[in-house]
Amino acid sequence: MSKEKLSNYLSYRMTVVRFLSVVGLWPKDQARFWYRFLPVLQLTANISSVLAIAMFVRKHINNLHRAIKGMSSMMSYLSNILKTTCVMINREDATKLHQMLDTQFFMLLNRPELSKIILNEVTTFRRLSSMMSFLTYLSCTIYVTRPVIIIIYQHLKQRHPIRYGLLFPGIYPWKIAPNSLLYKFHYGLESISTIFAFSVCAGIDLLFTLYIFQMIAQLREMSYCISNIDTAKNGHKAVENCVIKYEQLMKCRDILEKIYGPIMLWTMLINAASLCCQMFEFSKVGIIKLLNGHTGEFNGFSILRYQR
């Protein structure tokens, strides 16, 4: 067995474990209470974010630009809530699926004649997971540190009063004074919610690819057994084992469909809505650039009136 390919698989698997362990969604047989409480904490943080953004959208419902900006952020958090809910509702099925695939895969790795076959193309999966991990960490860092960077920039430019913004557009029922203890609390809450959201988004998607890779490995193992049947010795037994494993794979397919079916349907709808929001943002920027290019023809009031 190639040590490099085995290392790539273990690194790929560990990436998924890290993302999902942060939010308590990595399947475990005997999970502690605090680990089972993590998904509830993650849901609470994301739901509070959705409510704050919904109030922002409601207040600026007559301002199409701000309303679409808030709805775009709100749909992202709703997607993470749906993913977490689907896994939590089907937690027993997810644990069963994990036992059938993950445990069986390590058993196949212990067979030297199969380890090279089942680890074929694992490098591609590893690179995809590394790229997604890098982009996730980078995006999360940008979102969390953006308000701090803006505050530092205002101090350097000596702009007063300093505007203390939060991570996403939201309105709360109470007034948040700049640089107060309540502001720091909300900044920390939104940061935790954002970290949870990115962890769920990357972890759930990578977990699906991990299970698909493990299912492909079992299909390759069955193909190897059929191709090397010795009809005089164990031909009947090999065919029987392949049929049993195929039935197990069908059960795994049903569980994957049960968990990821609503997620994929929602993702298709959200991607279409997000694309429309981005097209609107681009068209808005184009109009502003066009108006700014006509020097002397439009003033600030004219531009505002044109946008309305």
Instruction: List, for residues 28-41, the tens digit of each pLDDT value.
Output: 777 788 888 888 88
- By C-alpha distance, which of 257, 251, 244, 242 is closest to 99? 251
Determine the structural domain holding residue 216 and report its residue range.
Answer: 3-307
Q: How far apart are the first and last CA of the chain?
A: 66
Tell me the pLDDT tens digit for each residue of 207-219: 999 999 999 988 8
Dump pLDDT digits (tens) for 90-113. Answer: 888 888 888 888 888 888 888 877
Q: Residues 45-58: what's their mean pLDDT?
A: 89
Cis preceding linkage at 161, omega within 30: yes
Question: Given the structure tokens 């913004």, which residue do they identify?
Answer: 165
251-279 pLDDT, tens digit each: 999 999 999 998 888 888 877 777 776 67
| pLDDT of 304 | 32
Q: What is the model's pLDDT at position 298?
A: 37
Segment among 12-21, 211-220, 286-295 with least mean pLDDT: 286-295
Query: pLDDT, tens digit, for every residue of 143-164?
Result: 888 888 888 888 888 887 888 8
> Between the CA atoms of 169, 175, 179 and 183, what dihedral angle is there, to the nearest 10 degrees?
-60
Tokens representing 97? 């699926």
Q: Identify the H or E element spanning 255.
A: helix 235-293
Q: What mean pLDDT is predicted for residues 156-178?
A: 83
Q: 62: helix, coil or strand?
A: coil
Mean of per-residue pLDDT scores for the chain:
81
Q: Output the pLDDT for position 117.
A: 83
CA 218 to chain centroid: 27
- State percent of the chain over pLDDT 90: 5
| Number of domain units in the chain | 1
The answer to whether the peptide bond before residue 262 is cis (omega within 30 degrees of 0) is: no
